[in-house]
Chain A
Amino acid sequence: MSNQNRIYSGGRIDRSKSIKFKFNGTEYTGYQGDTLASALLANDVHLIGRSFKYHRPRGILTAGSEEPNALVQLGLGARTEPNMRATEVEIYEGLEASSQNCWPSVNFDIGSINNFLSRVFPAGFYYKTFMWPPSLWLFYEHFIRKAAGLGVAPTVKNPDRYEQKFHYCDVLIVGGGVSGLMSALAAARSGCDVLLIDEKPLLGGYLRNVTAQIGSLNSNDWINQTLEELKSYDNVTILNRTAVMGYYDYNYLTALQKVTNHLPYFSDKLPRERYWRIRAKKVILAQGAFERPLVFSGNDRPGIMLASAARAYLNQYGVLPGKSVVLFTNNDHAYGAAIDFASKGAKVTVVDNREDISSDISDRCNKFNIKIYPSHSIISTQGYQKIKKIEIQKVDQKNNELTGSLNEIECDLVLMSGGWNPSVQLFSQSRGKLEYNIKLNSFTPKELIKNQKVVGCNNGDFNLLDVLKKSYQAGLDFATELGKSANKSLEIDKAFEDLEFTEAKVEPYMIGKKKVTHGSKHFVDFQHDVTAADIFLAQREGYVSVEHTKRYTTTGMGTDQGKTSNVNALALMSHIHNKPVDNIGHTTFRPPYSPQTIGAIAGRNVDHLFDPERKTAIHEWHVDNKAEFEDVGQWKRPHYFPLKNENIHDAVNRECKAVRNSLGILDASTLGKIDLQGPDVAKFLNLIYTNAWSKLEVGSCRYGLMCNEHGMVFDDGVTTRISENRYHMTTTTGGAARVMSWLEEFLQTEWLDMKVFCTSVTEQWTVLSISGPNSRSFLSDLTDIDLSKEAFPFMKMKEGKVCGIDARIFRISFTGELSFEINVPSRYGLFVWNEFMKHGKKYDITPYGTESMHVLRAEKGFIIVGQDTDGSVTPKDINMDWIVSKKKEDFLGKRSFSRSDTMRSDRKQLVGLLVNDKKTVLPEGSYVVDEVKPRPPMNMIGHVSSSYYSPTCNHPIALALIKNGLSRMGDVVKIPLMNGKVIEATITDSVFYDKEGARNNE
């Protein structure tokens, strides 16, 4: 039988459009407009999933985003999505959903053994059990990970597209219920730019489920009419299926719009989801309230749901989820559900824990033959996969004990209502302050932040006419503040809900058959299986702060973030400590409000758009010539250029030899380059670098070290005086942006009167570094500049033509060989490179990459900032005291060189290391020790910072930072490797080749 629980008419579903879908492999039929939950209830399916810890059968508790129980795995393959709330998922033709957290099936789940072992799984079970010994944690973790989590993540890449949108508006209204609609109406009529957001497919909120009158219309008609008016305004944007997830400073909010999730197909024109980043001048929160469950023994069985949810299924979806219905309540408002069910032919019984039932309520119930048990409580429930029977008994309120005879009631649906909690999550995220409202027994907004209002049930107001008026006024007030003419007054003078919510007590728990702390399962948090007993236990064990109780018991965690459980947990804590709830406080609400996909946050910033790639003008050639690339910051740099069967070592050895013996060429365009201009540049450089710059002549280059104020090296490079007031600074590839900011910081915040202008020119110049004994004769054929030793000595710069292109040639060297760095405008870079490759053939010109560059510079003992330094190294530590001016009065970092710590003699110092076996290439980062112990910890005296096989020396070389290393030349130290081997090495000078520096002075 299909749709056996569907009533003949009524609701917003379209009975002419039936939809087939599958749940746990069985095909069912629903109607257009159904949610998965309503369609399953229509087919009398109550068992949806299994609970997290005890694997207890669970059904549908709510009709919205607060659902803790009815979580399903949706879809298949790459598009599967876990933990989807059946109460939110709209059905479409072909939808496939399945239960989570159960094996082999939801009807027979092996894990449910945990339910019978619950006495050994108390709160804090994992903390207590898996603490010792620490070495076994990796073993435990394997099993815990397997048990943890609810649904499963897809194992393949999601093929969908996610978009992002920035939106700016005058007034953002969160929530499309009656209060949100009224605020939107007022703001829209006043000409404000309005964005109205609701998480449901259909706006109207709670008033769609109940009997209410607004003006001369019933609430449904009024909502439809109001929506029509709002849609007619050009200044109004309405988003449905959109949940506001985060509320940050200055009215910045994020929202997730489900664009195609509810469709039976995936569109290639539309994204699956759209992530909205909204900046609103004014925000009105109109999110409504959540109904509170009651905490009684066995309150989690399928077939037990919130009264308001049942009303939604009945009135919006035409589903009568049960025919023998018990309502368990502590307030008048929930009687509306009893009456709705009775009027549709269900047999209804009310269990009310209050003593006095008003005559109005009694009269209404009499009309429908609804029997009321006042001062009663449900003390136990029965029915494994669905509720079958309850036991009720009278409660002696004074002594808080059961009295009188026990009654059994057979039923197939239990509705519960413990009052209403305003949805204060977003308000609280925005840093609004909450107060405890003693009438509602829940938290309501107290102190608003700037440019924010909270209206309707969200603000704790439940009187319909009041809500309409105040919400409308909120819209008008904001319109006035925004300078709009807010002259339209509200024309509604009459509005009421049949049975209005006014107040409710909050019950810590309902007295049950068994004592609450003795094995009775009074669930407080359904999703995480937290019972009242767990909260008691946490208090006994000292986790008395609300944040500790939350973490110890996991109440309020999970995908629902305790939307239905938080206030009940607090009430229970208040009861245990005999303190008002105010003094207990509440946990912090954090974004996101609902679970959200990471894909939407990432948007289009995935794959090649995740991080920009920077490429030099020569990149194309490198690719064509089979370079292996290395990422240096965002730059793609050739690592090495392997020929046919070469591995990295063969290639690097060949490249290095080419440089030492003939001619190598490096694409050095990625070096940071800053153009400095102004009359005060020399003065400025004197403060920025450790050495002196006043006497640098036009056309001369000088190497400099930059230190921060702590005296630690943070960048290096060569700066050249191009003309009287113009300098060309180079920086490390990775440090370019940092150095630029560093220069600007001091120019803009300390030395405001200095006339210096900095411009980044990194990408404007292509830099071709040619190096090797043949570089002069090679280059002299291609340039009009006199390259002779006398005319163009080391550390000079000349301007002229290279291959017919205007160029600057710098005679500087990072390899120790005779070298020239040719700078040409980037648009000519590839042309000049190609010319070089062509004309260089007779010298067997060899392109080399960063790996060879590293080897060549290490042979010469040149440092790489960031590899041989780590932010804790002074110039003296790297044996570069020679570059620190003793004469200059001041420069950045100078004062720190005379601090007691930087003056210590046992600081780590940069030295060379030669392995005694002449063949082991030490792994970079290896620890250096004097004494090897059987196992760590050992007394570490330093580490290897650079290490290579040197083809020039024919043995491995290394640089290391070693305590007091400069005074330990010739000492043998030990390097224990990960594989257990210990390598011995001798401390040496850090220059391994051409110590006199003769070669680059050729």
Chain B
Amino acid sequence: MFVIKCPYCGERDQTEFSCHGEAHIARPENPDNLTDAEWGEYLFIRSNKKGIHYERWTHDHGCRRWFNVMRDTISDEILATYKMGEEKPKT
């Protein structure tokens, strides 16, 4: 069970959070202009990385804020947490 540093509240137990999959997948500006394949890409295709992975978490039983986490999926080490809208940290 991780210890996650919420960018708003500080370090807390994983039980207070929930994970919501890969981060930095922006919703397309004009969905109507996309082909079925492009829309399918946005809906279904995820990188499923072995290694450094950027993902979205929420502090459900805390401030209820969404934020991003940079995690190594091999060691499960959380390398950084950062607020929504911020640049993703370099590896």
| B27 A750 Cβ-Cβ under 8 A | yes
A749 to B55, CA, bound (A): 12
A208 within 8 A of B: no
* A793 vs chain B, min Cβ distance (A): 36
* Contact across chains for A752 and B43 when beta carbons are under 8 A apart: no
Query: Chain A residues near B2 (CB, 8 Å)?
Result: 249-250
Is A221's beta carbon under 8 Å from chain B?
A: no
Q: Does A899 contact B64, Cβ atoms closer than 8 Å?
A: no
In the complex, the answer to whether B39 meets A749 with C-beta atoms within 8 Å is no
Cβ-defined contact, A749 with B56, below 8 A: yes
Separation of A731 and B70 alpha carbons in the complex (Å): 34
For A751, the closest partner residue in chain B by CB is B27
Tell me which residues across on chain A come within 8 A of B45, comparing CB atoms.
none
A890 in contact with B30 given A745-B20, A896-B43 (CB within 8 Å): yes
Residues of chain B within 8 A (CB-CB) of A745 are 20, 58, 66
Q: How far is the CA of A672 from the CA of B26 in the complex (A)?
A: 29
**Contact assessment for B20 and A748 in the assembled complex, using a CB-CB cutoff below 8 Å:** no
- Point out the residues of chain A lying under 8 angstroms from B20, CB to CB: 745
B39 touches A899 (CB 8 A): yes
Q: Are A890 and B32 in contact (CB under 8 A)?
A: yes
Contact A896 B65 (CB under 8 A): no
Known: A450-B77, A745-B20. A709 touches B43 (CB 8 A): yes
Distance A248 CA – B27 CA, assembled complex (angstroms) = 35
Contact present for B66 and A744 (CB under 8 Å): yes
Question: Is B85 engaged at the interface, CB distance under 8 Å to the other chain?
Answer: yes
Which residues of A sit under 8 angstroms from B58, Cβ to Cβ?
Answer: 741, 744-745
Specify the chain A residue showing the minimal Cβ separation from B31: A895
CA distance A279 to B12 in the complex (A): 11
Minimal Cβ-Cβ distance residue in A for B28 = A895
Chain A stretch 839-889: residues in CB contact (< 8 A) with chain B: 889
Give the chain A neighbours of B19 by CB distance below 8 A: none
Min C-beta distance of B67 to chain A, whole Å: 9
Question: Contact string, B32-45, partner A, CB cutoff 8 A, digits 1/0?
Answer: 10101001100100
A449 to B77, CA, bound (A): 10
Contact present for A748 and B66 (CB under 8 Å): yes
In the assembled complex, the Cα of A890 lies from the Cα of B34 at a distance in Å of 12
B76 within 8 Å of A (CB atoms) = yes
* CB-based nearest A residue for B36: A899
How many angstroms from the CA of A749 to the CA of B22 in the assembled complex? 12
Q: Once the chains are docked, how many angstroms separate the CA of A894 from the CA of B6?
A: 34
Q: A405 within 8 Å of B by Cβ?
A: no
Q: Which residues from A are CB-within-8-Å of B31?
A: 890, 894-895
Chain B residues lying within 8 Å of A250, measured Cβ to Cβ, are 1-3
- Are B77 and A752 in contact, CB atoms less than 8 angstroms apart? no
Q: Does B84 contact A (CB under 8 A)?
A: yes
Residue A399 at the B interface, CB < 8 A?
no
Q: Using a CB-CB cutoff of 8 Å, which residues 887-929 of chain A contact chain B? A: 889-890, 894-896, 899-900
* A interface secondary structure, majority: mixed
Contact A279 B56 (CB under 8 A): no
| CB of B88, distance to nearest CB on chain A (Å) | 14
A248-B1 in contact (CB<8A): yes
Chain B contacts with A in 53-87, Cβ cutoff 8 A:
56, 58, 64-66, 75-77, 84-85
Pick the residue among B32, B34, B43, B66 that contacts A710 (CB under 8 A). B43
Taking the closest CB of chain B, its distance from the CB of A690, in whole angstroms, is: 14
Structural contact, B85 and A752, CB atoms closer than 8 A: yes
Q: Residues 751-768 of chain A: 1 if any B CB is under 8 Å from the residue's CB, otherwise 0?
A: 010000000000000000
Which residue among A449, A749, A889 has the maximum number of chain B CB atoms within 10 Å of its CB? A749
Q: For B75, what are the chain A residues with a Cβ–Cβ distance below 8 Å?
A: 431, 449
- When the two chains form their complex, are residues B1 and A748 in contact, meaning their CB atoms are under 8 A apart? no
Q: Does B16 contact A (CB under 8 A)?
A: no
Contact B43 A279 (CB under 8 A): no
Q: What's the Cα separation between A72 and B30 when bound, in Å?
A: 69
Cα distance A748–B65 in the bound complex, in angstroms: 7
Minimum CB distance partner of A894 in chain B: B31
Report Cα–Cα, A354/B26, bound state, in Å: 70
User: Which residue of A has the minimal Cβ distance to B23?
Assistant: A749
Tell me if B66 and A279 are in contact (CB < 8 A): no
Q: Answer yes or no: A252 CB below 8 A from chain B CBs.
A: yes
Residues of A639-678 contacting chain B, CB below 8 A? none
Say how far B86's CB is from chain A's closest CB, in angstroms. 11
Taking a contact as CB atoms under 8 Å apart, the answer to whether A279 and B13 are in contact is yes
CB–CB A749/B66 < 8 A: yes
**Which residues on B sit within 8 Å (CB–CB) of A889?**
30, 32
Chain B residues, Cβ within 8 Å of A710: 43
A750 to B85, CA, bound (A): 9
A752 to B65, CA, bound (A): 12
Chain B nearest CB from A887 CB (Å) reads: 12
Chain B residues with CB under 8 A of A450: 77
Nearest chain B CB to A71's CB is how many angstroms away? Answer: 31
Bound state CA distance, A889 and B34, in angstroms?
A: 13
| A894 B56 Cβ-Cβ under 8 A | no
Structural contact, B76 and A249, CB atoms closer than 8 A: yes
B69 → chain A closest CB, angstroms: 13
A249 to B75, CA, bound (A): 9
In this complex, the member of A748, A889, A890, A894 whose beta carbon has the largest number of chain B beta carbons within 10 angstroms is A748
Query: B13 to chain A: which residues have CB within 8 Å?
Result: 279
Partner of B1, one of A252, A709, A896, A899: A252
Residues of A within 8 A of B56 (CB): 749
Q: Which of A724-776 contact B (CB under 8 A)?
A: 741, 744-745, 748-750, 752
Which residues of A (50-72) have their CB < 8 Å from a CB of B? none
B1-A895 in contact (CB<8A): no
Q: What residues of chain B lie closer than 8 Å to A741, measured between beta carbons? A: 58
Which residues of B are at the interface with A, using a C-beta cutoff of 8 A? Answer: 1-3, 13, 20, 26-27, 30-32, 34, 36, 39-40, 43, 56, 58, 64-66, 75-77, 84-85
A-B contact pairs, 21 of them (CB 8 A): A249-B2, A250-B3, A279-B3, A431-B75, A449-B75, A744-B64, A748-B66, A749-B56, A749-B84, A752-B84, A752-B85, A890-B30, A890-B31, A894-B31, A895-B31, A895-B32, A895-B34, A895-B39, A899-B36, A899-B39, A899-B40
User: Across chains A and B, which 5 residue pairs bring their CB atoms closest together, nearest first?
Assistant: A895-B31, A748-B66, A252-B1, A250-B3, A248-B1
Supplied contacts A249-B2, A750-B27, A896-B43, 13 more A-B pairs, CB within 8 Å: A252-B1, A431-B75, A709-B43, A744-B58, A744-B64, A745-B20, A745-B66, A749-B56, A894-B32, A895-B34, A895-B39, A899-B40, A900-B36
